[in-house]
Amino acid sequence: MAKTHDIHPDQSVPLLKALHILTRDGQLNQDSRRKLKQVYHLVNFIQPLVEAVSQQASISLVDHGAGKSYLGFILYDLLLKSLQQSRVIGIETRADLVQKSQALAEECGFDRMQFEHLSVADSMTAASLPDKVDIVTALHACNTATDDAIAFGLQKQAHYLVLVPCCQAEVAEVLRQHKATALAHTPMSELWRHPIHTREFGSQLTNVLRCLQLEAHGYQVTVTELVGWEHSMKNELIIAKYTGQRKRSAAMRGAQILKECQLESLASRFQFELAI
């Protein structure tokens, strides 16, 4: 059996087996242990957010880019199952994963979980989703999927967004395209002259722009580590709480960064103009 301290005391062992985190005989391999550790750390961050909105008649949590829905199932099992008017909604573009997740929810009796096979654009207006949501999560949402989750959260006026970005490539690719002119334009371009620096700086810059976008649209932003770097290199956790206090300075700085780094082609993704 897996060590008891690896598994949350309130966690359903049959659920972990169904998610293939535990083997049939209750064992945890090293990869599953690492994955479970990351999800449990994220649950610890999300629990106080759920408690903060639990006084409402109902709670809606949307997991964007849900994949196999590890996070959604574990959040429901540990935090939301006992809250009678709450629901977890997983949004995923791969139909086979949506079908498997829906079947597992029915098997577990998780009747307030739903899974939607939707694109980002369709999720904004789908009748099956509420007009407003309380919490939006995105765990290891690759490249622009994190931006999609942010756009959805802004559209749905989410109280909280909890994001763990992964594999950001879009900004790095635009930096690469304009590298020659950037080198002539500013000595700061030395930050991304070498290919490895282009990739790492592009990733860092992407998350900086995301934080500025959230602040510009009325969110208080906290950035921290999810788990130790020995467990995952994609380790940045962004938590945004809606306050309604839009920071015009954040929008202006974001727009200036786009211009300085020759990233104007990405202006529509970060929407700074709408907040200035």
> At residue 222, what is the residue type?
T
Name the phi and psi angles at 203, rounded to 5: -65, -45
67: left (phi > 0), else alpha (psi -120 to 50), else beta?
left
Least Cα distance to 8 among 33, 40, 44 occurs for 40
Query: How far apart (Å, rounded) are the C-alpha atoms in residues 164 and 137?
Result: 8
Q: Is residue 141 part of a domain?
A: yes
Least Cα distance to 44 among 233, 229, 224, 212 occurs for 224
Tell me what pLDDT residue 233 has. 56
Query: How far apart (Å, rounded) are the C-alpha atoms in residues 1 and 26?
Result: 5
Tell me what pLDDT residue 26 has. 82
Q: Is residue 8 part of a domain?
A: no
Q: Is residue 3 part of a domain?
A: no
> At residue 31, what is the residue type?
D
Residue count (the chain): 276
**Signed CA dihedral, 52, 130, 226, 275: sign only:** negative
Tell me what pLDDT residue 1 has. 47
Least Cα distance to 205 among 252, 173, 161, 181 occurs for 173
Query: How far apart (Å, rounded) are the C-alpha atoms in residues 104 and 257?
Result: 45
Q: Which domain holds residue 93?
A: 37-275
DSSP of 219-230, one letter per residue?
EEEEEEESS-TT
Domain count, the chain: 1
Q: Is residue 169 part of a domain?
A: yes
Q: Would strands 86-92 and 135-142 be described as parallel, antiparallel, or unpaired?
A: unpaired
Q: Which two tokens stand for residue 246?
A: 């839009």
Query: How far apart (Å, rounded) are the C-alpha atoms in residues 264 and 188?
Result: 17
Q: Is residue 13 part of a domain?
A: no
Residues 6+ apart with CB under 8 A from 202: 168, 169, 171, 172, 173, 175, 192
**Signed CA dihedral, 121, 169, 266, 137: sign only:** positive
Q: Is residue 155 part of a domain?
A: yes
DSSP of 174-189, one letter per residue?
HHHHTHHHHHHH-GGG
- Tens-level pLDDT at each residue, the chain (276 residues): 455 558 898 899 999 999 989 988 888 878 888 888 888 999 999 999 999 998 887 899 999 999 999 999 999 999 999 998 899 999 999 999 999 999 999 999 999 999 999 988 899 999 999 999 999 999 887 778 899 999 999 999 999 999 999 878 899 999 999 999 999 888 999 999 999 999 999 999 999 999 999 999 999 999 998 875 544 456 899 999 999 999 999 999 999 999 999 999 999 999 897 766
The beta-strand segments (E) located in the chain are 59-64, 86-92, 113-117, 135-142, 160-166, 219-225, 236-242
Q: Is residue 79 part of a domain?
A: yes
Least Cα distance to 262 among 189, 204, 200 occurs for 189
Tell me what pLDDT residue 6 has. 81
Q: Is residue 22 part of a domain?
A: no
Query: How far apart (Å, rounded) are the C-alpha atoms in residues 151 and 255?
Result: 17
Please report, in angstroms and rounded to a whole number, the separation of the first and last CA atoms in the chain: 56
**For position 94, which CATH number holds?**
3.40.50.150
pTM above 0.75, yes or no: yes
